[in-house]
Amino acid sequence: MSRARDFLVSAATLLVGRGRPTLPERERIIPDKPGRPGWELVAVALFALGALAAIAFPVVYGLAEDIPHETQFLGLSVGLAFVLIGAGLVVTGKHLIVTEEIEEDYPAQEHPEEQELLVQVVEESGSRLTRKRLFLLSLGGAGAALGAALVTPVVSLGPVFRVAPLLGTPWRRGRRLVDENGRPWKASDIDEQTFYTAFPEGADKEDLGASVVLVRLPQSRFRLPPALAHYPAEGIVAYSKICTHAGCAISLYRTPMFDPTDPKPALVCPCHYSTFDPADGGSVLFGPAGRKLPMLPLQVDGSGTLRAAGNFDEAIGPSWWGVRIWKPNPPS
Amino acid sequence: MGRPDLEAEPALVIRKTVRFLDQRTGDAPLLRKLLRYLFPDHWSFLLGEVALYSFITLVLTGTYLALFYNDSTKQITYHGPYAPLRGQRMSEAYHSVLDISTSVRAGLLIRQTHHWAADVFVAAILLHLLRVFFTGAYRKPRELTYVLGLAMLMISLLEGYLGYSLADDLLSGMGLAIGYAVAVSLPLIGANLAELIWNGPFPGTDAFFSRMYIAHVFLIPGLIGMLLVAHLGLVALKHHTQFKSEPRQTERKLVGVPTFPGQTPRSLGLFLVTAGVLFLLGGLAQINPIWLWGPYHTYLSTNGAQPDWYLGWLIGGLRLVPSFDLTIGHYTLVPNPFWGGALFPLVVFGFLLFWPQLERRFITHDYGYHNLLDRPRDAPLRTAIGLGVFIWVALVFVAGGVDRVTVMFDVDYVTMIWIFRVAIWVVPVLVGLIAYRVCVELQQGEEAKRVRKRAEHRAKALAETTDIA
């Protein structure tokens, strides 16, 4: 029994005792200042709480199926574990460890002797060369040539000097306009006051040249330039859905609720609020777009289905250096 | 006591370890220097550290995410646990990020922590940059450190943009479309450059996503890591700058706390607290809920789309520029997105990059060494110009979000844009003038106090002498 008691006592002493081993006499580097022992307990408590929070993490992880707000509890446990242990370390740094404010010289601004030595070494290294400039020129030329050779494979990354892909669209004369699920749009489906998205039948919908917005306007609103006068069919107009400014999809249609005061109908891109006028061929009403919205000529076939009567009057999508601002062409 | 070895030779383990390492690596002289390297004590010096710790958190959480992410743009139909999206066509990339958010246990926590860490990372760099700018810490001999820091900021913006583009949700896709438009708008090379990067016209091919992926997880983080090492290496070689908060701190004498033991627990603590706060945010504060945005298709967009905060200034720039392309006859030369999306950031970073030389050449004519920091009032012109540029960028940033004001408060969007188009040129000038005045007044106030104190001192001394007399 007494041995067990001795063991317990010594274990307790080792655990909580604040006795320090006596050091042999030597000059201290870090000055010895008395601290406040309370902070030691604060740090220990923070570490213990941090450990508890950390232990909670695998527990929550294991129970994840059974508890709601799994992500919140996981974040709380691991986050608190980090914060508490971190706070314990900050307490350690601020209160337990002696903070010395030491003075020290900044490093030398420069080393003239070494500089001189370096210059001399480099200069003397080429003393055998008689045509120094020629030598350096050939070495530099060789390096540049090798660099150019190594950069060449970059060209494989994509098409080079070929902007044709930027201009192509899947629209052809006679191509039917279909909705997202491939059903053809009939002219009678298109109502005023709202807009519809259409694609060329059978084409890749992701192609920037594919999607168009359809809008029906009352005849009284139209102010199309003569060259575009025949683009609408039965009061329906089609414009590329891709904004000519930054390539986002135009997904807002502003329609006046009360004609005399409200602004006129407009197609708006939600990215930077480029605003286009569907009544006059897609000109820019407001916003940063520098080029009008490309217009698609339409026709209605015998069954009432909407078909393209040609290609767009402008290049689709965002502009680039050298893109032609197309003059409207007749659709035939 | 039962531990005589401890008494005879204190800290035996430490001694053994130190000896073992020194005999095998010869590190003792170096370590001695490192452990006694001095850190001047000021809270603003911790901003760079927070950026560093966010970066470490980013690398760790990002590595975990990479284990689950799939960079394929192949279109598949969703049949996963999130009911509202069932049956929708989406890329495998978006599908894998949905799975990380809904099916991988702790996946959402790590994803959101990663996203928060990115936002905090750039914020910490920006605040660090402001501190460095307004205290003149970039002056000789620390110009290179400053340039490396700027490079890291620029690359970090790209890194963040690539990160949220990889998710391939609706907002990512809209962001990529805008990025593409800015790329094709670059003078002369734009169209070719964009086609090289995207492997054809937007939206590009599968190859484009694997390029973004390798850039995001390897090339750019690797580059940031290397720049970081160089940045910190230069800091250590020339030592920290310091504020003159006590007389013994001079251009030649540095006063600070040594790495060990003073600074180590504090820095380690700051690291853990930073990581902890990021995890708390990741767990408790929702960020970028991609399941709500849905998959991207070129023909879809949504109103109220906003990028991560650090790209807000570019959205603002793109929105504020009036309808204007540089054209010749029927041909466009420089399209509109170039002004707000490329030229504007170029001007801002150009200003930051060349400011140290401009200031030296035209304002201070000061080619000397500086280890002591200025307070903003000590350099009124720098403070005025810096604040003006900052307000300029900040206003453009705010303009990027005014559509939210339209939605929430029904204020006309067009009117607000026109107000901002004027304000971004007027307000910075006013703020700059006021800042200059304030700095000068503060300086004069201090000078007056000094003069008064000196006079009082003299008067007192005089009074004492007359008393004696």
Q: Is the pLDDT of residue B300 over 90?
A: yes
pLDDT for position B468: 64
Residues on chain A touching B264 (C-beta within 8 angstroms):
93
Side by side, the strands of the sheet bearing A195-200 are A177-178, A195-200, A212-216, A236-240, A295-296
Report phi then psi at B127, rounded to 5.
Answer: -65, -40
pLDDT at A159: 83
What residue of B is the nearest CA neighbor of A105? B253
Residue with more model confidence, A32 or B444: B444
Average pLDDT over residues B390-403: 96
> Under 8 Å CB-to-CB from B237, ≥6 apart: which residues?
A107
Cα–Cα distance, B191 to A147 (Å, whole number)? 24
Q: Does the beta-carbon distance from A197 to B319 stay under 8 Å? A: no
A window 35-64, beta carbon within 8 A of B? 61, 64
Nearest one of B436, B331, B369 to B141, comparing CA atoms: B369
Identify the pLDDT of residue A262.
83
- Domain topology for B44-295: Cytochrome Bc1 Complex; Chain C (1.20.810)
Neighbouring residues of B370: CB distance < 8 A, sequence distance ≥ 6: B136, B139, B140, B241, B251
Q: How far apart are CA B439 and CA B115, in angstroms?
A: 39
Gap between the Cα atoms of B334 and B324, Å rounded:
9
ipTM of the complex: 0.91
Instruction: Give the model's pLDDT for residue B226.
Output: 98
Q: Which residues of B are less than 8 Å from A323 in CB distance? A: 191, 331-332, 335
A7-22: average pLDDT: 66
Q: Say whether pLDDT at A277 is over 90.
A: yes
B131-141, pLDDT tens digit by residue? Answer: 999 999 999 99
- Closest by CA position to B51, among listed B121, B107, B117: B121
Give the model's confidence band at A67: pLDDT under 50 very low, under 70 low, under 90 confident, else very high: confident
B330 vs A103, A246, A324: nearest CB: A324
Q: Is the pLDDT of residue B318 over 60?
A: yes
Give me the CATH code for the A166-332 domain, please: 2.102.10.10
Rounded distance between C-alpha atoms, residue B46 and residue B223, angstroms: 23
Percent of chain B with pLDDT over 90: 89
Q: What is the dihedral of CA B202, A293, A252, A224, to 10 degrees?
A: -160
Mean pLDDT, residues A75-84 taken together: 98
The residue of B73, B336, B414 whose CB has the most chain A CBs within 10 angstroms, and thus the best one to mutate to test that interface, is B336
Average pLDDT over residues B3-28: 79
pLDDT-above-70 percentage for chain B: 97
The pLDDT of residue B410 is 85
Indicate the pLDDT class of residue A4, thresholds 50, 70 and 90: confident
- Position A322 pLDDT exceeds 90: no
Does A69 contact B at CB distance below 8 Å?
Answer: no
**B333 contact residues in A (CB cutoff 8 A):** 321-322
Would you state the pLDDT for residue B406?
86
Q: What is the pLDDT of residues A293-316, one digit of tens each?
A: 999 999 999 999 999 999 999 999
pLDDT greater than 50 at residue B466: yes
